[in-house]
Amino acid sequence: MKARSIARELALLGISQLTDNTDRVRAAPPQASPQALSTKQLDALLVKALKALGSDAQATLDTASGDLQRGERLLLESETRTVETSEVRSRIQPAVPLIESAINQVGSTLEVLLFAQQGDKQAMMAARNQLEAAATSLEAGDRLLLENEQKVASIDDARQQIQLAIDTVRSALTSLQTFLEPTNLRDLISQSDIRSYACDLLHHWIMHWQAVDAQLNEAMEKWNMRRLARVDRDILRLAMMEIIYVGVPTKVAIDEAIEMAKRYSDEDGYRFINGVLRRVTDKLEAASVGER
């Protein structure tokens, strides 16, 4: 995971702390100086953002654990409640996407922790190897299910491979749980490139959010920012800050906004964000061409 991706996520989580108090935000002058937030205030925001990031990572691992439990229950039911091979197979097959989801969720948490250099590096690399092994076992189990349908493989072999994948992911998940204490995440904001970019985004948000809202409202036409879920609103604002005031290429900013929306919003949310950002940036580009 790149430094700017981590910084962007921290900024988003920090912004959510500001928008909890809309009266204070609205009272801030729209063109405040870059020192509008003191170092102490920035530290407080980033620490709150870190806690939110840790909570989100923990929630991700909890979801992964639930997926593993459901997948394992399906395997058990296939062994104890059915006799016909076709019925066994139909019970096992829904377990595959659940376990795949768990692998991806644990992997995304591991990526953040590896980037932040949290925990014992050797243990973290061991967890990565476990996830790779789990993915291999799951792929083998899924393939054996297909081959069983074609009557060239044993259903027990398929079940064993999928159970192995579950056990391996669970082991990696348990290892990561110990690295999510807030104190273990503090090193994340001590890295200068992360801290600097996160602070830049927070400064620009304080200085320009009203102007950005006006542009976004115009692009949404019959919709407006106040009617959006807060996380969607903040992701839109953050992307516009990057495009207009930080000089991030439009495509990069939009892609990053979509990735954040996939994590913090829903499918409708990220599709809506994508459409709004493309409309507003098209208008900005057309206006820029007209001025030449």
115 phi/psi in degrees, rounded to 5: -65, -40
pLDDT value of position 77: 87
Q: What is the Cα–Cα distance from 10 to 14, expressed in whole angstroms?
A: 6
Residue 21, both tokens: 């108090």
Look up the pTM and report it.
0.63
pLDDT value of position 237: 92
**Do residues 201 and 240 make contact, with C-beta atoms less than 8 angstroms apart?**
no
**Do residues 125 and 94 make contact, with C-beta atoms less than 8 angstroms apart?**
no
147 phi/psi in degrees, rounded to 5: -70, -30
pLDDT digits (tens, 9 = 90+) for 25-69: 443 444 444 445 666 777 777 777 777 777 777 888 899 999 999
pLDDT value of position 185: 62
Measured over all CA atoms, what is the biggest interatomic distance in the chain, rounded to whole angstroms? 75
pLDDT in tens, the chain (292 residues): 577 888 888 888 888 877 544 434 443 444 444 445 666 777 777 777 777 777 777 888 899 999 999 999 998 888 887 668 888 888 899 999 999 999 998 988 887 676 555 556 788 888 889 999 999 999 999 999 999 988 888 999 999 999 999 999 999 998 887 776 655 566 666 677 888 888 888 888 888 888 998 888 888 877 788 888 888 999 999 999 999 999 999 999 999 999 888 878 887 888 889 999 998 888 888 776 666 5
CA nearest to 57, candidates 98, 99, 15, 115: 115
Domains of the chain: 3-37+191-291 (1.10.940.10), 49-184 (1.20.120)
pLDDT value of position 27: 38
